[in-house]
Amino acid sequence: MDHRNATLWKCPVLISSDLVLAENNEKEFVLTELYRASPDGPMLSFPRGKYNGAFLDSRPHRELFRRRRDLMGHALVMANVIQDSNSTKEHLLKEDRLELQNDAAVKICWIAARHAFEMLNATRRHIFSYRWGYKVDGEWSGMIQDIKSNRADLATNCVLYSERLDVVTFTDMVAPLRMRFVFRQPPLAYVSNIFSLPFSSNVWVAIAVCTAASTLTLCLTSHWETKVEKNPTQLDGSISDALLLTLSAVAQQGCFVEPKRAPGRILEWFLFTALMALYAAYSANIVVLLQAPSNSIKSLSQLAASKITLAANDVDYSRFVLSPYKDPTHVHIYRRIMPEGEKPNFYHIHEGVEKIRQGLFAYHSIVEPVYRRIEETFLEQEKCDLTEVDFVNGFDAFTPVKKDSPYLEMLRVV
Ligand SMILES: *[C@@H]1O[C@H](CO)[C@@H](O)[C@H](O)[C@H]1NC(C)=O
């Protein structure tokens, strides 16, 4: 031991470092790897190989992870973000599967982290944060600040924002997490004139042309009839009587003047039958259209232009994720949720989902708890017109690990 440099043995050579000590024992160089599993743990040494003109590698595995995965009980701290209810703290640690609707992502991440810690033989520690972490005036808050100030090594999945990359590295997506506006499409009757929709415009033109043609032909046949006989309930051969009869057919009404002879009657019969068929088709279509959703809102700009109420989940993140945008569409939507000088449109998830059900209401939230509540409260047909629109345009959520953490590689692999 005498030749071993005491200073070197005190160095904080942590698990991510690749330090090899080469000792010359006259015949050859003996190579030894040195590292510590935790900053205050003992220095561990493992043979790396020998060198005497040629290098002989004696590592059992080439991957750093497989050689160093035993952290020997070093304590790793997980930061858990509690947003929905403080009772999550209790259920999370007991893992009793109660109140699953609260902080679902946190619970999934906790279970995954538990297995990761077991694989690394690390001691499991936890802290609770009450905010995901946003940079306001250069200062971080919440979970990201906890990681930055070394209170935690890793944390709950969070959405990837580029400025968070200054503090953390994102590893794996343990629990998918999406933030969206969820709403039911406004009914078709609300956004367009459903009276003209049952037929295409070509059909409307064809009906007008046929009506005009039958007016003319009725006029001709009745003109001929008046030469054969005269009768008080007969068409008098003028264009106005012919028009009266065709318009009453269009309106599905009877008319007291009518043709008396076969040509006019055949014409009248066909006119009434054709218009009756059209009338039946029209009514059937209107009934369908009255209940149809519109599909009119598919993008954020359409949502901004629509007249439906915009609101957000009444939790901490809603106060941060909606604001940092500069373009007019985002600002407009933000202002509708948080009108200046008025109470912001924040609703508890139960109230928000009920308002989605009633319609003309878009609710911004992490979608998983919203859908869970929808499943509990919606009828099947009320789910058909549900739509999502993305506001934050973010990436998925990934598990953050402190950027310069020596355990980054280990955590990334497990
Ligand atoms: C939970 O408790 C913390 C600290 O006591 C508090 O800051 C936070 O607002 C609480 N969260 C909820 C959802 O009640």
Q: Say which CATH number the domain at 206 has.
A: 1.10.287
* Residue for token pair 């028009």: 243
Is 222 part of any domain?
A: yes
Residue with the smallest CA separation from ligand 1 atom 6 is 130
Is 193 part of any domain?
A: no
Range of the domain at 101: 75-177+398-413
382 and 300, same structural domain?
yes
143 and 220, same structural domain?
no
308 and 281, same structural domain?
no
User: Quick check: helix, strand or coil at residue 18?
Assistant: coil
Q: What local confidence, expressed as pLDDT, does residue 1 receive?
A: 47
12-71: pLDDT as tens digits: 899 999 999 999 988 899 999 999 999 888 999 999 999 998 999 999 999 989 999 999
Exposed / middle / buried, residue 358 (Cβ in 10 Å: 0-12, 13-18, 19+): exposed
238 and 147, same structural domain?
no
Give the predicted TM-score (pTM) of the model: 0.80
Ligand 1 atom closest to residue 315's alpha carbon, by position in its atom list: 13
Instruction: Give me the DSSP letters along 221-242.
Output: HHHHHHHH---TTB--SSHHHH
Is 195 part of any domain?
A: no
330-348: pLDDT as tens digits: 999 999 999 999 999 999 9
Whether 224 is in the pocket of ligand 1, judged by its Cβ within 6 Å, is: no
89 and 59, same structural domain?
no
- Crossing angle of helices 201-228 and 239-250, in 10° steps, is 140
Tally the domains of the chain. 4
Residue with the smallest CA separation from ligand 1 atom 8 is 130
The Cα–Cα gap between 230 and 233 comes to: 9
230 token code pair: 């005269």
157 and 95, same structural domain?
yes
Q: What local confidence, expressed as pLDDT, does residue 29 receive?
A: 93
179 token code pair: 């933030």
49 and 113, same structural domain?
no
Domain limit, last residue, from 13, 45, 68: 68
User: Quick check: helix, strand or coil at residue 301?
Assistant: helix
Is 138 part of any domain?
A: yes
Q: What local confidence, expressed as pLDDT, does residue 330 receive?
A: 95
Q: What is the CATH number of the domain that holds 366?
A: 3.40.190.10
**Residue 129: HSE in the Cβ half-sphere, 13 Å Cα cutoff:** 29
173 and 208, same structural domain?
no
Q: What local confidence, expressed as pLDDT, does residue 134 receive?
A: 92
The Cα–Cα gap between 183 and 356 comes to: 6
Residue with the smallest CA separation from ligand 1 atom 1 is 86
Q: What local confidence, expressed as pLDDT, does residue 5 receive?
A: 67
Is 192 part of any domain?
A: no
Phi, psi (5° rounding) for residue 404? -105, 25
Helices (H) and strands (E) in the chain, counts: 16, 18
Stretches where the chain sits below pLDDT 70 are: 1-5
The Cα–Cα gap between 244 and 312 comes to: 58
Ligand 1 atom closest to residue 83's alpha carbon, by position in its atom list: 13
The Cα–Cα gap between 272 and 268 comes to: 6
User: Quick check: helix, strand or coil at residue 113?
Assistant: helix
238 and 285, same structural domain?
yes
Q: What local confidence, expressed as pLDDT, does residue 254 receive?
A: 85
Is 55 part of any domain?
A: yes
Whole-number Å distance, alpha carbon 142 to ligand 1 midpoint, is 12
Ligand 1 atom closest to residue 85's alpha carbon, by position in its atom list: 13
The Cα–Cα gap between 34 and 9 comes to: 9
378-397: pLDDT as tens digits: 999 999 999 999 998 878 89
Is 45 part of any domain?
A: yes
Domain limit, last residue, from 36, 68, 100: 68
Burial call 122-143: b when 16+ CB within 10 Å, e when fewer? beeebebbebbbbbeeeebbbb
Whether 87 is in the pocket of ligand 1, judged by its Cβ within 6 Å, is: no
Whether 85 is in the pocket of ligand 1, judged by its Cβ within 6 Å, is: yes
162 and 90, same structural domain?
yes
- Written as one letter, the residue type at 306 is S
Q: What local confidence, expressed as pLDDT, does residue 328 receive?
A: 94
CB 315 within 8 A of CB 83: yes
The Cα–Cα gap between 298 and 115 comes to: 40
Q: What local confidence, expressed as pLDDT, does residue 4 receive?
A: 61
Domain limit, last residue, from 35, 68, 101: 68
Nearest alpha-carbon partner for 188 in 107, 287, 43: 287
Q: Residue 207: which H helix or E strand, with range?
A: helix 201-228
Q: Residue 129: which H helix or E strand, with range?
A: strand 123-129
Phi, psi (5° rounding) for residue 333? -65, -40
Whole-number Å distance, alpha carbon 140 to ligand 1 midpoint, is 18
161 and 92, same structural domain?
yes
Whole-number Å distance, alpha carbon 315 to ligand 1 midpoint, is 11
The Cα–Cα gap between 195 and 294 comes to: 14
Whole-number Å distance, alpha carbon 148 to ligand 1 midpoint, is 21
346-347 and 309-313 beta bridge pairing: parallel
CB 90 within 8 A of CB 375: no
Residue with the smallest CA separation from ligand 1 atom 10 is 86
Separation of CA 412 from chain center: 26
Is 142 part of any domain?
A: yes
Ligand 1 atom closest to residue 89's alpha carbon, by position in its atom list: 1
365 and 331, same structural domain?
yes
The Cα–Cα gap between 75 and 38 comes to: 8
